[in-house]
């Protein structure tokens, strides 16, 4: 069928870059080449045994296969316990709702907050789902630039007043995928004042607060005074607890926003599968030593990969946070895609072109820290032998 049979909304969704990479990957595998896939952010660590046991036990109870309809009280209490223990933040039960992963929740929240034609602000470069949040609501998407010279922090004062006057909400995320930097506390304090001044809701995506390398622990947006007055935070169990396939995340913060999101979701969903809720309870109330051990392993990979790349002539800075690395492409390449395809052909190493994250990502690539140190050592040798980074 022609595209005219389908909605403008679905036709606007982009798959081009990833389709090209997947085709190239399949071709290499057919030719018997070994590939090193650093393009997808899927953790290679297993969930902790106590989390899997909770899921297993819950799956044995036939009652848990019925509609869940709402969050179990124990789940809300577990999230309250975790936010107090982990972030020293007190949250009420009516300030929490689960969603089937931040991906789904972010796609839906635009329809809760926006009418068609309203404006949202998203980072460029930034995670593509942020755009989708507005597209699903038929909102106008404006981009605030994330520049290396500003430490990859938004220049709030540079956003035009005429855009701010019509902005409904702004999506912020630190540590930020793909640029892999953390934000200082002063930024959040300024952001809350900024949101109040311009009557803008803040949506903070906090997927990587347990994977940072510049301080002992990441922070929650809600740990800053006034945050609940201006917005909500997405807190995912996917990366901290390796529950990517279970699809469990939380939206936490302003109770009016939470209530409207619950009303919206009641029309399209029957709640998170109960065994997943019990697995989440185990994760949120259980020991966090495994989370810290995993963070340390990511940090070792970060230093090994980035240091190794610098030693063979690719000037890649260490990541400050997230499970990714962000790097400028060598000067001899005209585009991120050209570099990625040449890298795949010559070495089998697959990375994501930066323009997949917005126009300001052109000239960069993102690499995921999803292989162990032995594999990193092997791919570094392959890269060095390729002479791609020789002057």
Rounded CA-CA distance 223/192 in Å is 11
Q: Are 118 and 141 in contact (CB under 8 A)?
A: no
DSSP string over 101-137: HHHHHHHHHHHHH--TT-EEEEEES--HHHHHHHHTT
- Say if residues 117 and 269 touch (Cβ distance below 8 Å): no
Query: How confident is the model at residue 17, as a pLDDT?
Result: 67
Which contacts (CB < 8 Å, 24+ apart) does range 299-303 have?
A: 299/213, 300/373, 301/369, 301/371, 301/372, 301/373, 301/376, 302/213, 302/369
- Dig out the tokens for 321 from the structure: 């946070």
Other beta carbons within 10 angstroms of residue 60's beta carbon come to 8
Q: What is the pLDDT of residue 378?
A: 97
What does each of the 391 residues of the chain score in pLDDT, given as a tens digit?
777 889 888 887 776 666 777 788 888 889 999 999 999 889 999 999 999 999 999 999 999 999 999 999 999 999 999 999 999 999 999 999 999 999 999 999 999 999 999 999 999 999 999 999 999 999 999 999 999 999 999 999 999 999 999 999 999 999 999 999 999 999 999 999 999 999 999 999 999 999 999 877 889 999 999 999 999 999 999 999 999 999 999 999 999 999 999 999 999 999 999 999 999 999 999 999 999 999 999 999 999 999 999 999 999 999 999 999 999 999 999 999 999 999 999 999 999 999 999 999 999 999 999 999 999 999 999 999 998 987 6
Helix, strand, coil tally for the chain in percent (to 5)? 50, 15, 35
Numbered ranges of CATH 3.40.640.10 in the chain: 49-285
Query: How many degrees, rounded to 5, is the angle at CA 173 between CA 290 and CA 232?
Result: 90
Q: Is the backbone of residue 59 left (phi > 0), alpha (psi -120 to 50) or beta?
A: alpha
Whether 100 and 269 have beta carbons less than 8 Å apart is answered as yes
Q: What is the pLDDT of residue 16?
A: 61
Can you tell me whether residue 147 is helix, strand or coil? Answer: coil
pLDDT of residue 9: 84
Report the distance separating Cα 75 and Cα 282, nearest Å: 9
Decide: 204 and 380 in contact? Cβ < 8 Å: no
> Where in the chain is CATH 3.90.1150.10?
3-46+290-386
Q: What is the largest CA-CA distance in the chain?
A: 65
What class is the 3-46+290-386 domain?
A: alpha beta
| Long-range CB contacts for residues 16-25, cutoff 8 Å, separation at least 24 | 17/337, 17/353, 17/355, 17/356, 18/356, 20/337, 20/341, 21/340, 21/344, 21/350, 21/352, 21/353, 24/341, 24/344, 24/345, 25/344, 25/350
- What's the fold here for domain 49-285? 3.40.640
Three-state secondary structure call for residue 214:
coil
């Amino acid at each position: 069928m022609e595209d005219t049979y389908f909605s403008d909304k679905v036709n606007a969704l982009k798959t081009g870059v990833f389709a090209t990479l997947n085709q190239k990957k399949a071709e290499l595998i057919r030719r018997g080449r070994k590939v090193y896939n650093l393009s997808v952010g899927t953790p290679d660590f297993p969930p902790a045994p106590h989390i899997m046991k909770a899921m297993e036990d819950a799956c044995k109870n036939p009652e848990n296969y019925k509609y869940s309809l709402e969050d179990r009280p124990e789940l809300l209490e577990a999230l309250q316990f975790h936010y107090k223990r982990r972030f020293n933040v007190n949250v009420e039960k009516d300030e929490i709702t689960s969603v089937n992963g931040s991906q789904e929740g972010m796609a839906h929240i635009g329809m809760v907050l926006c009418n068609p034609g309203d404006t949202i602000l998203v980072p460029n470069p930034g995670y593509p789902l942020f755009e989708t949040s507005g597209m699903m609501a038929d909102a106008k998407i404006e981009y605030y630039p994330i520049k290396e010279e500003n430490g990859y922090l938004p220049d709030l004062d540079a956003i035009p007043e005429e855009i701010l006057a019509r902005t409904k909400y702004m999506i912020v995320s630190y540590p930020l995928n793909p640029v892999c930097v953390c934000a200082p506390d002063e930024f959040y304090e300024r952001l809350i004042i900024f949101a109040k001044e311009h009557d803008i809701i803040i949506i903070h995506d906090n997927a990587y607060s347990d994977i940072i390398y510049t301080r002992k622990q990441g922070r929650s947006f809600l740990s800053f005074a006034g945050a609940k007055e201006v917005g909500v935070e997405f807190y995912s169990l996917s990366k901290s607890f390796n529950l990517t396939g279970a699809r469990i995340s939380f939206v936490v913060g302003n109770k009016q926003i939470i209530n409207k999101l619950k009303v919206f979701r009641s029309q399209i969903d029957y709640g998170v599968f109960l065994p997943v809720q019990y697995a989440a309870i185990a994760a949120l109330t259980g020991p966090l030593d495994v989370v810290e051990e995993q963070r340390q392993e990511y940090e070792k990979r970060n230093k090994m990969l980035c240091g190794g790349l610098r030693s063979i002539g690719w000037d890649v800075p260490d990541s400050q946070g997230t499970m990714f690395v962000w790097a400028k492409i060598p000067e001899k390449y005209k585009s991120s895609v050209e570099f990625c395809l040449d890298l795949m052909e010559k070495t089998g190493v697959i990375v994501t072109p930066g323009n997949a994250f917005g126009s300001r990502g052109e000239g960069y690539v993102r690499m995921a820290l999803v292989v162990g140190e032995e594999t990193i050592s092997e791919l570094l040798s392959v890269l060095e032998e390729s002479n791609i980074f020789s002057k």
